[in-house]
């Protein structure tokens, strides 16, 4: 049975990089009909908070990643928060096992003593390894120190020789020399387990078969593998994903703009578009196609096609893709999605224009939108007050040729039987009469009737605001000369 986990730490809002790891983990599981476990790694009590945990749940849900077991769903292998697992004594049980088998030992060295060791290693340029001074203590000495209430940590005894060799699902054959790795702390002096220990205990206890995570964890492999071996367990399969970089090739961070998933939601990204975009960040199916539904991605996903090279997060490409998604939606879905982002006041103002004005207006600006919130910028064009319109016009200068175009157009445009087609036909007649280029005809008309350079198809616009408004505006601009 394939069992995978996402293991976020609730020390910040759900980050786009963490989401990408969760996504690939989820895709792998769904592709192979496996089980997805959500585990909250909140052993760092100082930095973890419920607020961040809630943000993680919200982000995953909005993005469309579900899980079969987790803090909210429950499951056979719970609890699913490490803080609750500490309370349940799960880690201490494993610590006892490792102490008893000689794979772990008490260490009473003070922070100061350890820093002297570390500085000495630094000075000689040798990678630091703990001296194992604590191993020289006799059983009686250890007991006496414990009885006296001395502070201690518990360290894992790394094998002195041998190599950790495994085949990474993404990176292929990997080998680490065990003898280079220092004995590391598995239980901190405050009694909480360290990351490298807790993660192994949980992956083992939760019967995780495949671990997919960021490449920044690859250096932890020899430590985690050694703990697995000491517990007599076989190693799960691992796949380490390339990192996500900003456009300057530095690791993606706040400096590059929004990094939290809920910020993307709030800016008006449509989650299926982000899903499509993130899936292609470090993975690609065969062929050139870039647009895929969630189900298609699930059926195509394979770790064989995950790139080894880091991937660059390109906000412009994502924004473009988002706009493309909005244009491809069926009308009903599009309206439902966009209405969630439309300001209530603007909506009411557009509705006043006529029975189906709202629906026409939403469709008219569809081609202008990149993110959903753009609806409030582009939608405003339909409800400009006369004052706002006049002040826009005051900023524009119309040439003689422009005025000639507007005058001709006004003469052609008839209120009777008006439609978007008759509007377009009118503009075509002006084109023919004047022999001017499209820009020289369409732009002054656009500027005169809307007060702005860009916006919806003018025929659609005219259908929403009404031919009378169009004629009045043409006359207004013509009267200014």
Find the catalytic residue in 143, 167, 254, 308.
254
Residue 198 as a binder of ligand GLU (CB under 6 A): the answer is no
Are the C-beta atoms of 262 and 58 separated by less than 8 Å? yes
Q: Which DSSP helix (H) or strand (E) runs through 247?
A: none
Residue 132: how many other CB atoms lie within 10 Å = 14
State the minimum distance, in angstroms, from the CB of residue 424 to ligand GLU. Answer: 55
Considering only 3, 4, 9, 59, the residue that binds ligand GLU (CB under 6 A) is: 9
Q: For ligand GLU, what does the binding mask look like between residues 36 and 75, x meaning CB under 6 A?
A: -----x----------------------------------
User: Using the rule CB under 6 A, is 81 a contact of ligand GLU?
Assistant: no
Residue 325, preceding bond cis, omega within 30 degrees?
no
**Residue 217 contacts ligand GLU per CB under 6 A:** yes
Closest approach, Cβ 241 to ligand GLU, in A, equals 10
3-state secondary structure of 147: helix
* Residue 236 binding ligand GLU, by CB under 6 A: no
Q: How far is the CB of 204 from ligand GLU (least distance, A)?
A: 13
Stretch that binds ligand GLU, among 1-9, 359-367, 425-433, 450-458 (CB under 6 A): 1-9
Count Cα neighbours of 331 within 13 Å in the Cβ-side half-sphere: 7
Non-local (6+) Cβ contacts of 287 within 8 A are none
Of all helices (H) and strands (E), which one includes residue 207? none
Stretch that binds ligand GLU, among 2-10, 344-352, 449-457, 471-479 (CB under 6 A): 2-10
Shortest distance in whole angstroms from residue 310 CB to ligand GLU: 17
In angstroms, give the least distance from the CB of 82 to ligand GLU. 9
**Residue 14: CB atoms within 10 Å:** 25
Q: Is 74 helix (H, G, I), strand (E, B) or coil?
A: strand
Does the footprint of ligand GLU cover residue 349 (CB under 6 A)? no
Per DSSP, the three-state class of 3 is: strand
- When binding is defined by CB under 6 A, the residue of 186, 199, 357, 470 that contacts ligand GLU is 199
Stretch that binds ligand GLU, among 3-11, 300-308, 364-372, 439-447 (CB under 6 A): 3-11
254 a catalytic residue? yes
Pairing of strands 244-245, 311-312: parallel
Q: Would you count residue 342 as binding ligand GLU (CB under 6 A)? A: no
Is 169 a binder of ligand GLU (CB under 6 A)? no
- CA distances 305 to 19, 46, 243, 480, Å, are 19, 39, 15, 64
**Beta-bridge mates of residue 6:** 38
- Give the CA distances from residue 441 to residues 161, 416, 419, in Å, rounded to whole numbers and listed in that order: 80, 23, 19
**List of residues contacting ligand GLU (CB under 6 A):** 7-9, 41, 199, 213, 217
Question: Catalytic residue numbers?
Answer: 254
């Amino acid at each position: 049975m394939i069992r995978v986990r996402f293991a976020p730490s609730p020390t910040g809002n759900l980050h786009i990089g963490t989401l990408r790891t969760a996504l690939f983990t989820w895709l792998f599981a769904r592709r192979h009909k496996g089980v997805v476990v959500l585990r909250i790694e909140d052993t760092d009590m100082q930095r973890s908070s419920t607020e961040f945990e809630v943000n993680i749940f919200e982000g995953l849900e909005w993005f469309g990643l579900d899980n079969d077991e987790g803090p909210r769903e429950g499951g056979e292998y719970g609890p699913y928060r490490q803080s609750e697992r500490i309370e349940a004594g799960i880690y201490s049980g494993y610590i006892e096992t490792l102490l008893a088998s000689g794979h772990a030992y008490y260490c009473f060295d003070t922070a100061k003593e350890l820093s002297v060791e570390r500085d000495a290693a630094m000075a000689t340029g040798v990678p630091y390894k703990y001296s194992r001074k604590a191993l020289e203590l006799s059983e009686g000495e250890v007991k006496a120190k414990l009885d006296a209430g001395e502070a201690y940590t518990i360290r894992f005894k790394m094998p002195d020789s041998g190599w950790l060799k495994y085949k990474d699902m993404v990176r292929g054959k990997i080998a680490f020399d065990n003898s280079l790795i220092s004995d590391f702390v598995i239980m901190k002096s405050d009694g909480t387990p360290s990351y490298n220990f807790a993660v192994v205990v949980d992956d083992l206890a939760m019967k995780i078969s495949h671990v997919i995570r960021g490449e920044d964890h690859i250096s932890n492999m020899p430590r985690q593998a050694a703990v697995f071996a000491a517990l007599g367990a076989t190693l799960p399969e691992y796949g380490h994903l390339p990192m996500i970089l900003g456009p300057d090739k530095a690791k993606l961070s706040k400096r590059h703009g929004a990094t939290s998933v809920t910020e993307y939601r709030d800016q008006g990204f449509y989650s299926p578009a982000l899903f499509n975009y993130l899936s292609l960040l470090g993975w690609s199916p065969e062929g050139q196609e870039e647009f895929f539904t969630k189900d298609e991605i699930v059926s195509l996903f394979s770790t064989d096609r995950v790139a080894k090279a880091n991937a660059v997060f390109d906000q412009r490409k994502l924004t473009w893709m988002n706009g493309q998604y909005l244009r491809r939606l069926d009308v009903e879905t599009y309206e439902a999605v966009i209405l969630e982002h439309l300001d209530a006041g603007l909506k009411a103002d557009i509705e006043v224009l006529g029975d189906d004005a709202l629906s026409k207006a939403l469709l008219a600006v569809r081609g202008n939108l990149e993110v959903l919130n753009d609806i409030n910028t582009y939608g405003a064009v339909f409800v400009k007050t006369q004052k706002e319109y006049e002040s826009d016009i005051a900023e524009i200068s119309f040439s003689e040729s422009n005025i000639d175009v507007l005058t001709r157009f006004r003469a052609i445009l008839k209120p009777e039987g008006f439609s978007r087609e008759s509007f377009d036909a009118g503009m075509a007649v002006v084109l023919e009469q004047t022999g001017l280029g499209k820009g020289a005809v369409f732009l002054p008309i656009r500027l005169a009737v809307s007060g702005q350079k860009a916006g919806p198809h003018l025929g659609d616009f005219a259908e929403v605001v009404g031919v009378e408004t169009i004629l009045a505006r043409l006359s207004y601009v013509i009267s200014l000369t």
